[in-house]
Structure 1
Amino acid sequence: MAKNYYEELGVTRDATAEQIKKAYRKLARKYHPDVSKEENAEEKMQTINVAYDTLSNEEKKKEYDFMLDNPQGFAGGFGGQSAGQGFDGAQYYSQGFGSGEGQDFSGFEDLFGRFGRGFGGGQAHDFGSRSSRQQRSYKGEDQHASIEVDAEIAYQGTTQNISLQIPTYNAYGEPEVQRKTLQVKIPKGMKEGQQIRLSKQGQAGINGGENGDLYIEIRYKDTDKIRVEGADVYYTVDISPWEAALGQSVELTTPAGKVKVNIPKNAKTGSQLRLKDKGIPSKTPGHLYLVLNIVSPPAQTEQEQQAYQAFAEAFSHFNPRQS
Structure 2
Amino acid sequence: MAQNYYEELGVTRDATPDEIKKSYRKLARKYHPDVSKEADAEAKMQAINVAYDTLSNPEKKTEYDQMLDHPQGFSGFGQGTPGGAGFDGGQFYQQGHASDFSGFEDLFGRFGAGFGGSNQQYQRQTRSYRGEDQHASIEVDLEVAYHGTTQNLTLQIPTLNAYGEPEVQRKTLQVKIPKGMKEGQQIRLNGQGQAGINGGENGDLYIEIQYKDTDRIHVEGVDVYYTIDVAPWEAALGKNIEVMTPSGRLNVNLPKNARTGQQLRLKDKGIPNKTPGNLYLVLNIVLPEAQTEQQQQAYETLAQAFASFKPRG
| TMscore range, shorter length | 0.7 to 0.9
Q: Which amino acid aligns with 1:74?
A: F
Partner of 1:172: 163
- Return the offset for 1:204: 0.8
- Return the offset for 1:212: 1.1
- Return the offset for 1:291: 1.4
Gaps of 5+ in 2: 9-25, 55-60, 116-120
1:1-323 map, 5 Å: 4=3, 32-36=32-36, 41-47=41-47, 72-76=72-76, 78=77, 82=81, 86-91=85-90, 99=98, 101=100, 105=104, 127=112, 129-130=114-115, 132-322=123-313
Structure 1 pair 48/272, CA: closer, same or farther in 2 (3 Å)? Answer: closer
- Return the offset for 1:136: 1.8
TM-score (norm 2): 0.72
- Return the offset for 1:134: 1.6
Structure 1 pair 137/283, CA: closer, same or farther in 2 (3 Å)? Answer: same
Structure 1 pair 290/81, CA: closer, same or farther in 2 (3 Å)? Answer: same
CA contact (8 A) 2:138 2:210 kept: yes
TM-score (norm 1): 0.70
Structure 1 pair 27/208, CA: closer, same or farther in 2 (3 Å)? Answer: closer
Partner of 1:101, secondary structure, is helix
Partner of 1:289, secondary structure, is strand
CA contact (8 A) 1:71 1:84 kept: no
CA contact (8 A) 1:274 1:290 kept: yes
Partner of 1:117: none
CA RMSD, 1 decimal: 4.0
Percent of pairs identical after alignment?
A: 65
Partner of 2:18: none
- Return the offset for 1:239: 0.6
Distance 1:212 1:179 in 2: 16
CA contact (8 A) 1:71 1:83 kept: no
Q: Which amino acid aligns with 2:207?
A: I
Deviations 1:110-145 (A, max 9, x none): 9x96xxxxxxxxxxxxx4554522212222122222
Gaps of 5+ in 1: 10-24, 55-59, 114-126
Distance 1:175 1:36 in 2: 16
Distance 2:296 2:218 in 1: 36
Distance 2:293 2:108 in 1: 96
Q: Which amino acid aligns with 1:35?
A: V
Deviates more, 1:81-90 or 1:206-215: 81-90
Deviates more, 1:272-281 or 1:79-88: 79-88
Q: Which amino acid aligns with 1:280?
A: I
